[in-house]
Each structure stands twice: as C-alpha cells, then as structure tokens.
Amino acid sequence: MVLVALSAVTSAQNRDAGTVVLDLTKPVPREQQPSGIPGASVGVDEGGKWVPPLYSLPLAVELRSISPQAVKPLDKFAVELTLRNTGDAVFRLPASRNSVKVLKQGNTGRRSFLFSLILEDPNTGKQTSSVSASTDGSDTVPASWLRVEPSQVVRVLFTADLYPIDTWVIAGLKQVRVRAQVSEWKYEDKRYFIETEAEPVVSQNTIVLDLAPPN
C-alpha cells in the first residue's frame, strides 16, 4: 500500500459529497521516513547565496480549528485547516507520507508540500513558525497525488506542538495568535535539490490559543 492517508481521503470523499479529508494525524512509519532531508544540500549563486525562484500556488488557506483550546508546552494539539483551489485548472496536491518511496532517486516530478503554523505573541508582535506536517508527490508514483478540482475544498488534519515557543510559555505568555501557512518545494529530477519553491500562502484568519503553564 502506498499510503494510509489516501485510503482515508477516498472514504471521506465518498461520505461527504465531494469534500475530501486528508488525515495526517497518524505517525509515519520509520521505514517511510528518509534518513536525510531532501534539498538540505543546495547550490549557491555567484554572490555565495542560493535563493530558489518562487512561484504561486492557486490555493486559499483557512485555519478552521485547534483542539484543545488550552495547551501546555509539551502537549500535542489537533489542527484542522482547509485548502481551496482558486485556480481554473486541477491542482495536484502531494498527498503521500511515504517519503522514501515517493522521493527516491530516479523518480520524476517530485514535490513536497509543507503545512506550517505561524505563532505570534499578541503583546509584542514577535512571530515564529515551524513545519508541522508534510506530504510528497511524484509523477513516478501516481497514487501519491490528490486531484483538487477548481473551487474544490480539502480539509487537512494534523497535529502540532508549542516547541517553537516553549520559552515564551515558560516566561509567562498566556495566549498566542495562530495562523496557518502552506508552501511547496519542487526538486530537480536528477538529484535532491530544491529547484523552485512556492511563495507561502497564509490564512487570513487567526485563532487565539490559550497557553496553560507547565506543571
């Protein structure tokens, strides 16, 4: 089986009259996780710094819910967001979590899709962000894609934590503003090299999360 997530997507689509659910809450088996990070070793330009060219994603993002509403520093919490295809053509959303199979050397058309949260201190405006979940797709593995029709909405579920702001919580921060963000990497076919990168798409709405002090 290529993907546990894809079976969840299929059943959800049948139940919910066209609304697709991409469930990323289950742990990824170790044998499906790469030992290195694709794109971690990148090239440089003449000035010594390599910046991948950006492209736009035809997507709108909305942060729907976070549960529970009061979270301790080491606790995991559930996140739901929606992606809507705002373009005129089908968008192929990377939907596999089997990075070893999908991103292996020799596969073509490889992409990684990143689901992140932006965390903001409401008092100072200070922000930080981190990737909470990711999916992969490759033309060599057709089942690794989820076809999103124009105007179609996909519900995405994943888990996150407060690790990026644990020092803020310990210092006494009581609430944090949360936004959702998505982006994408496209790799070269011949090597693990990020050829282009999507400009991040950020949710217009925010959710205020209560921060419970550590025990």
pLDDT at 133 over 60: yes
- Band (156; pLDDT cuts 50, 70, 90): very high
Say how far apart CA 198 and CA 185 lie, in whole Å. 6
pLDDT at 168 over 80: yes
Say how far apart CA 83 and CA 114 lie, in whole Å. 12
Q: Is residue 62 part of a domain?
A: yes
Burial of 83 (0-12, 13-18, 19+ CB in 10 A): buried
What the block records as the tokens of 65 is 């819910």
Q: Is residue 90 part of a domain?
A: yes
pLDDT tens digit string along 107-126?
A: 999 999 999 999 999 999 99
Lowest mean pLDDT across 45-49, 50-54, 168-172: 45-49
Q: Is residue 37 part of a domain?
A: no
Between 51 and 61, the higher pLDDT residue:
61
**Full residue range of the structural domain in which residue 167 is found:** 4-27+54-210
Q: Is residue 45 part of a domain?
A: no
Between 12 and 83, the higher pLDDT residue:
83
The whole-number average pLDDT for the span 150-174 is 92
Q: Is residue 49 part of a domain?
A: no
Q: Is residue 102 part of a domain?
A: yes
pLDDT at 40 over 80: no
Q: What is the pTM of this model?
A: 0.85
Say how far apart CA 147 and CA 150 lie, in whole Å. 10
Closest by CA position to 140, among listed 106, 100, 114: 106
- Band (43; pLDDT cuts 50, 70, 90): very low
Domain tally for the chain?
A: 1
pLDDT tens digit string along 181-204?
A: 999 999 999 887 888 999 999 999
Rg (alpha carbons) of the chain, rounded to whole number: 18
Amino acid at 21: V
Q: Is residue 21 part of a domain?
A: yes
pLDDT of 51? 64
pLDDT of 36? 55
Q: What is the mean pLDDT of the chain?
A: 85
pLDDT of 132? 95
Q: Is residue 36 part of a domain?
A: no
pLDDT tens digit string along 52-94?
A: 678 999 999 999 999 998 888 788 999 999 999 999 999 999 9
DSSP conformation class of 171: T
Share of the chain above pLDDT 90, in %: 65
Say how far apart CA 118 and CA 199 lie, in whole Å. 15
